[in-house]
Amino acid sequence: MEAVKNFFLAVYANDQVQYAIDAVIKLFLAIVLSGFIGFEREHSHRPAGFRTHILVAVGSALVMMTSKYVFLEYQGLGTFDPTRLGAQVISGIGFLGAGTILREGFSVKGLTTAASLWAVSCIGLAIGAGYYTGALVATIVIYLTLNTFKKLIAKNNRSKNLYIEAENMSKQAADIGAIVKRYGGSLHSLEVLYADSSPTKRKSDSIVLKAVIFPSDEESLNMTISAIRALDGIRDLYID
């Protein structure tokens, strides 16, 4: 038994084995923490979801691990800043985040997802550097910001989300805006969703619109919904 113990201690004492074990632990932790945040984004039907967040965190962790590895391997042979590669990740992630930002009329969408990608890259860097406590606490804070705080804000918000299955986007979009205005409300945004992004049972020859409206009161909301349902070409309507 003592011989087996000494064998494993001797194996672990090998630098390459230590590097391998350390790499597995860090990359696995990067997958778990970033996947936790990515799942929330996927559940919210954002353009960057579960897999994207994992890839960003794993890549960032690997960059920091590589930077640390090179620094230790070539220490004394020249000047090398172990934080230089990590700094490139922080600035370079902006190109990926920019791809999630969309402007629709006067509203801008995707800023929160872009920020979550940047934050996940920082978590990956922290894990790669061995700062596990910071990575774990940051993951919890980011998740609460994306999920819990969003629910608190929505609870105090007068806006209502209408998911409308329609046959023709251009015609029905104009009619919906007119109806909302007619009953004293205001239309904040109107966007087209994919079939799997909506609670409605979408048919193959229809589209799903998400209308964010601000009704003046409950009666105004009910009258607006009834009028939209009565429109020609409206197949289904779900309110969130």
Looking at residue 30, what is its pLDDT? 92
Map out the domains of the chain with their CATH numbers: 2-153 (no CATH), 158-239 (3.30.70.260)
Q: What is the pLDDT of residue 194?
A: 55
How high is the mean pLDDT of the chain? 77
* Residue 61's pLDDT band (cuts 50, 70, 90): very high
Query: What DSSP line would sit under the chain, residue for residue?
Result: -HHHHHHHHHHHHSHHHHHHHHHHHHHHHHHHHHHHHHHHHHHTT-SS-HHHHHHHHHHHHHHHHHHHHHHHHTTTSS---TTHHHHHHHHHHHHHHHTT-EEETTEEE-HHHHHHHHHHHHHHHHHHHT-HHHHHHHHHHHHHHHTHHHHHHHHT---EEEEEEES-HHHHHHHHHHHHHHTT-EEEEEEEE-GGGSSS---TT-EEEEEEEE-SSHHHHHHHHHHHHTSTTEEEEEE-
Over residues 145-185, the pLDDT tens digits come to 887 776 665 555 577 888 888 776 666 777 888 888 888 88
pLDDT bracket for residue 20 (50, 70, 90): confident
